[in-house]
Chain A
Amino acid sequence: EISAPWTFHNLQELRHSASLANKVFLQRDYSDGTTCRFQTKFPSELESRIERPLFEDTVKRLNIYYAEAEKMGGQSYLEGCLACATAYLIFLCMETRYEKVLKKIGRYIQEQNEKIYAPRGLLITDPIERGMRVVSLQLLLLLCVCVCERETDKEKHKDR
């Protein structure tokens, strides 16, 4: 590995400096209805970049999270009935279960990017930013960002 003087400071910077990026899109899988699921088919463009089991694992995990968010069980019915009883005003003050799971998904994707995908020159975009239509993977080509001046930012990011 080349020990270049430049390091990644955060993935946001990485995203900004990814100039010539090709994108691969994973479309939705509607075989189960309108619930949110993504196709686990391994795209051919990623063959040289990442191992298939890792990729499939990530997508399956995402599907599990989305299924959990949309699950209709006791808790969601309780939430729905309570909301109806309060004329849905409760949505103004309470965070719904869906939103909680979405945050969990955001953290999961961030973690996957840092651990697995960025070292391989890939970047997964959270589907919520694309209207839950696609999971987009950015193939990164440019690796360098800037130095030292951002060390403090890196510390802040770690603390977050």
Chain B
Amino acid sequence: MKHCEYQQIDPQALSTPTPTLPPQHAVVQEEKKGETARRKWEVFPGKNRFYCDGRIIVAQQSGVLPLTLGLILVTTVLFFVFDCPFLLKHLTVFIPAIGGVLFVFVVISLLQTSFTDPGILPRATPDEAADIEKQIDNSGSSTYRPPPRTKEVMINQQVVKLKYCFTCKMFRPPRTSHCSLCDNCVERFDHHCPWVGNCVGKRNYRFFYTFIVSLSFLTVFIFGCVATHLALRAQGGRGLMFALQESPASAVELVICFFSVWSILGLSGFHTYLVASNLTTNEDIKGSWSGKSGTEDTGNPYSYNNIITNCCSVLCGPMPPSLIDRRGFMPVEESSQTVATEVELAAKNEINVCQLVLCLSVFVCMAHHHPPLGGQLSGLCSVLCWLMSKCTQGTKDLLESASRSPCPQAGKPQTVSTSCPDSIDPADPAVTFNPDVTSDPVAVPSLKCGGRHHSHTTSPPDEPRQLHHHHNRHHKTRSARSSSKRAALHISNPAYNVSLSPPTSPGLGPSHGTGAEEHVRDSFATLH
């Protein structure tokens, strides 16, 4: 909380036993300083690598990308150095020009395919995952892995099964697949290409297609030019061997081009077919829509049944944005969420409960300090109580007791909170702290139950006022959390309460807030 008007209670003074709070606090401090602010790519859960501060994304293994680049570069450089001068002289200037353009296209589209986010889906946040789990199965235990979950949806009057991804904790959208090499779910997953060193998915499919088409053009072009070159040299009855001796580099180019042209042309043809029918390699290989595995008519529900529309939608469609936001900064809650397990989240809720109670008590304190606001604050207090009553069951008990405890009234100087030590008059006999209490590290926002609360005790009104300290305590252990998801209210009495006549406060036994929860709870209950 930033600069507030009311007296701020340092959460660390609460000495919450839950270990996650101080680190969270530290994280918050860090984020605010901005010195160690982290970008999202630094905590990306997949197996990708990032360069240039998140601008460039590649798979974990670059595969044979260097080989691909190397082959292309070597062949083209050799072509320009050894074949182009001859062809320039004997044929036309367009040959190197076309070669240059094709080469530029190939390299740029290759780099874009390799370095672009293919359409990675960010993993589900813990809240989402919990929501989905709730929808699927309420009774399954979390220790064993249940059979693969599927959800059926109707797409274009056809039933499509969506599978649940255990790694990403969500139901995969249609046409999405999980790449085990990159450990990500990728939208419209085509395949993981080792030549390119990245997955090919929705966002970089058009780059990939441009790459293989332009590469096949380049390969064919170079092959043709080199063949022409050699043929021209071998003219006049001098023979092929003579031509090869004169230009040995051409032989290298011929060999490379010859062996790659078949595979590249084949790949281009295959992908042209896929584009025309709006299929992915993944679907084609698995035979999802060809009826091999299916029974009824399983046509492709995504196809527009028109070649041109299919081509346009795949290649010229709008470019979807990257969903993983690599260069964004980690917000505070997200960073704590990404590390929070289910259990920690529950512990966090517990902290939140106590923060709420803390805030409530702070309002009350403020009411004391600023009497004119008291009326407003009491109203706000009641609203808060109502709001809190809407929340989880685990806090309901706490809130019931809190709501029953009457809100403070303005202008009652005797309603003193231990959190406002400056207002306490040590000389006041009514305000004697139990040394155990003050030394108790779990101090002391008090739910102020002011004058009216005193009426619960049967002491006469002119008796010295007593202080009822209601302590909130977090349970250190999670077993405590599992037993009851509530912050227990401890009632601790000042040492002087021995001055009370025993019948007046039967419930306020000598419990000093250390053990005796149930006893305390009962006693609290008797007060109301």
Contact = CB atoms under 8 A, between A and B. Distances in A.
Contact of B154 (A28, A31, A98, A132): A31
B161 to A, nearest CB: 11
Interface string A55-97: 0000000000000011110001101110110011101000011
A58 to B, nearest CB: 20
A147 B4 contact: yes
A33 B392 contact: no
B125 A98 contact: no
A136 B128 contact: yes
A20 B5 contact: no
B160 interface: yes
B181 interface: no
Contacts of B410: none
A15 B332 CA distance: 11
B315 interface: yes
Contacts of B301: 33
Contacts of A121: 387
Nearest to A22: B391
Given A87-B105, A91-B319, A147-B5, A30 B356 contact: no
A102 B388 CA distance: 35
A122 interface: no
Interface in A89-123: 89, 91, 96-99, 102, 121
A80 B388 CA distance: 52
A31 B315 CA distance: 23
A98 B302 CA distance: 21
B376 A88 contact: no
Interface stretch (B167-175, B467-475, B503-511, B514-522): B167-175
A115 to B, nearest CB: 21
Interface residues of A, number: 55
A16 interface: yes
B124 interface: yes
Given A20-B391, A70-B318, A87 B109 contact: yes
Given A133-B170, A133-B173, A31 B318 contact: no
Interface stretch (B57-65, B241-249, B347-355, B491-499): B347-355
A32 B332 CA distance: 36
A128 interface: yes
B376 A5 contact: yes
A68 to B, nearest CB: 10
B330 to A, nearest CB: 12
Nearest to A82: B316
B10 interface: no
A31 B152 CA distance: 11
A154 interface: no
Given A32-B155, A141-B387, A84 B315 contact: yes
A133 B333 CA distance: 19
A81 B395 CA distance: 59
A136 B302 CA distance: 27
A54 interface: no
A72 B332 contact: no
Contacts of B353: 20
A135 to B, nearest CB: 11
A143 interface: yes
Count chain A CB atoms within 10 A of each CB in B1, B3, B301, B318 and give the residue with the most. B318
A132 B325 CA distance: 12
A34 B318 contact: no
A96 B318 CA distance: 8
A149 B318 contact: no
A72 B313 contact: yes
B254 interface: no
A30 B153 CA distance: 7
B122 A88 contact: no
Given A23-B131, A72-B313, A88 B302 contact: no
Contacts of A42: none
A13 to B, nearest CB: 9
A20 B187 CA distance: 33
A88 B206 contact: yes
Contacts of B206: 80, 84, 88
A144 B2 contact: no
A131 B316 contact: no
B312 A72 contact: yes
Count chain B CB atoms within 10 A of each CB in A20, A79, A121 and give the residue with the most. A20
A15 B3 CA distance: 18
A76 B206 CA distance: 14
Interface in B174-199: 174-175, 187-188
Interface in B307-343: 312-313, 315-321, 323-325, 332-333
B404 interface: no
Interface of A: 2-5, 15-16, 19-20, 22-23, 25, 28, 30-34, 69-72, 76-77, 79-81, 83-84, 87-89, 91, 96-99, 102, 121, 128-134, 136, 141-144, 146-150
Smallest CB-CB A-B distances: 3 pairs? A80-B316, A19-B352, A131-B122
8 contacts: A16-B332, A20-B352, A23-B131, A34-B188, A70-B317, A80-B312, A146-B4, A150-B2
Interface of B: 1-5, 104-105, 108-109, 112, 121-122, 124-125, 127-128, 131, 153-156, 160, 162, 170, 173-175, 187-188, 206-207, 210, 301-302, 312-313, 315-321, 323-325, 332-333, 349, 352-353, 355-356, 359, 373, 376-377, 379-380, 383-384, 387-388, 390-392, 395
